[in-house]
Amino acid sequence: MKILVCIKQVPDMESKFKVNGTGNWYEETDLAFRINEYDEFAIEQAVQLKEQLGNEPDVTILTMGPERSKEALKKGLAMGCDRAVHILDEEYFNRDSFEVASLLAGFAKEGSFDLILTGMQSQDRGSGQVGILLAEMLGIPSVSTIVEFSYNDGNVELKRDLEGGMKAKINATLPLLLTCQMGLNTPRYPTLPNIMKAKKKEMTCLAASDLDHSSSFTTTTSFFFPEKSGSCLILDGDSSSNADKLIEILKEKTAVLS
């Protein structure tokens, strides 16, 4: 079995973001970067399946992005993936979901992968489209936002999130692409021995320009923070006096609304 895990390196969401000079993305200076949270569930599921099947599956971890993205691949290798592929692209932020999926497909279509795992969405763009588009381009079925996974002799049993807290149970066969939701598993922390082993694992670098892909259909024209609207009132003092103030404010607002 051949497994592909597609990941993305994103800024730590606790970072203080600024719009860049061209106004089409965020300024990366001084930001801390990490593996996209949803992608860690994909890595963990691939490694768990590898362990379940006696280390027989071969797990490739793939990312697209600038030079710094290799750090995300190194962590994936330390978590248990076998090899890494980096599609080097310094202009990654100018590509829409369709073009990103097309570039990933440019690599994946030659690999004959049985199972492809991605995160549900990236934490920076949040489109939730790349995984599903990738499956469509490869001509394989997909199931999104999975929260349970089990595998037995080529058959896959899944549960996926639905609206209103409901879940759907799905049976599928390989080849298959899955996008992973929070709650699927608990990603492991790489141990020191595995971090050392990861340094010896294969990492291949490809140029985005060398891969067969389709160009973006959309262009980001501006990138900005939402305009502040309305105002807030901060109550100072102890809880007792603040409670009295709040009651008076609510009475006033209620009278106005009525």
Q: What amino acid occupies position 106?
A: G
Contact by Cβ (8 Å): 170, 158: yes
Residue 256 pLDDT: 58
- DSSP assignment, residue 97? H
Residue 216 pLDDT: 86
pLDDT per residue as tens, the chain (258 positions): 999 999 999 999 888 888 888 888 888 888 999 999 999 999 999 999 999 999 889 999 999 999 999 999 999 999 999 999 999 999 888 899 999 999 999 999 988 999 999 999 999 988 999 999 999 999 999 999 999 999 999 899 999 989 888 999 999 999 999 999 999 999 999 999 999 999 999 999 999 989 988 888 888 888 888 887 777 778 888 888 889 888 888 888 776 555
The residue written with tokens 């080529």 in the block is 154
Phi, psi dihedrals of residue 18, rounded to the nearest 5°: -135, 145
Which pair of tokens denotes residue 168?
Answer: 């759907």
Query: What is the residue-wise DSSP string for 4-61?
Result: EEEE-EEE-TTS---B-TTSSSB--TT--EEE-HHHHHHHHHHHHHHHHTTT-SEEEE
Residue 193 pLDDT: 95
Residue 257 pLDDT: 58
Does residue 120 sit in helix, strand or coil? coil
SS3 content of the chain, % helix, strand, coil (to 5): 35, 25, 40
Alpha helical stretches, state H, the chain: 37-52, 70-79, 97-108, 130-138, 192-198, 239-257
- DSSP assignment, residue 103? H
Q: List the domains of the chain with CATH numbers.
A: 2-210 (3.40.50.620)
Contact by Cβ (8 Å): 111, 2: yes
Residue 198 pLDDT: 95
Contact by Cβ (8 Å): 86, 68: no
Residue 255 pLDDT: 66
